[in-house]
Structure 1
Amino acid sequence: MMNWQNYIIADPFICEGRACFKDTQIMVSEVLENLANGVTPNDIPKKYPALNQEAIQAALTFAAQIAREQIFNLSKLAPHREVRVAGRLEAIKLNDHTFTLAVAESLYPLNGFAKAIEAQILSRLLGQNVVVSGTAHFTNEGALLILEAAQIEIAKEQDLIIWGEVPKPFRRPFDMSDFKGKRGLSAIIGKWPGDETDEEVRQALEELS
């Protein structure tokens, strides 16, 4: 991934606290606004001769990183708790530190974020049964949103039994639907935990994928 710091200065004491391109007074936000308004990356240097294509790519990388950090910081404001979850590490995306864990008991695909884990470790564990220690973030409605991994290691058979369930918040919000009779298939097998939050998961991971 491109290191935007080679092209951009984000020091709060420079450019009135806003990010600008090195050796220029051109604000990154100004270039991003041009791109958002339909100016193509190839046309940017015509408007800003001091910038090349690498600098423009650095601006896009910078914006993506800021967006990811904002989304993740917002997730920390939601209900969360420390957990351990065991299952099979089904997929990883090294470019954005995300992974998918098939939880042992139900095979429910749990979305995770593993910025604290080295890429080599994730690659080595792909396809194996693992136990993830970290923080589970929930929506305000109590559904699991994402698992922030602090450690991932090979799971023992006992781990799959003890930790092989989808995490739940300590206190689930009051829900009037608890008093409604279930019908059809849901009355027999229940509902997959988190099904109602697919859109929220997609939104939370939009800038991570």
Structure 2
Amino acid sequence: MDTGFEVFGDVLADISSDCRDSDRYDRGLLKHVLKLRSLFQRGIFGDIEVGSQRHKNGMTPHLNRTVLDTAESIHRTTPLPRRLKLYGTLDMLRASTQGFEIRLGSGEKAPGVLVQGDVRQLQGLLGCPVTVYGTAVYRPSGRLLRIDANEIVPALEQDRFFTTIPRGTLPPGCSKRIIGGQAARGELAAIVGKWPGDETDEQIQEALRRLS
């Protein structure tokens, strides 16, 4: 069984490598990691080595200002959670973690956690069409990390319209920073022209959708 040091070491290893598709953190966890910056601002530590059985032979994760700067960059560009209604087939339940998995019509699988109620009470719905109500939580890359579900119920015919995982919304101000960096490299010339410009937030979001 993993210890807290090993789990934290895995998180730091992914942050250090600027892994934007990691399944080890979301905006909430990154925010907690950033609170550790106070240790370095006060001059208490310069570098913290997080030892564990899994990370050996020079691969021991470190926590320092550089890692925290990377964590801040990842946090700043991670999509915000958003409310979700999703139709699919209940494909898996895991009582030990309140976990579940929904299989969509496209074959894509959407993992989640039931945050209200007991997931064992859903056993009768395994293999059946269901509708999930909850919050979509995203990876820094924009892909779905998990669904924090408040309710999973038998699907109705009209729920078949909700078969697509909605895209995450970038934090305020993040869109223009990303577009600005891409425009400096000439990647958006055909979409928004010269940067900076007078594009609205909606136009910027549309440009990002075309690139994804």
Give the TM-score, by structure 2 length: 0.44
Larger Rg: 1
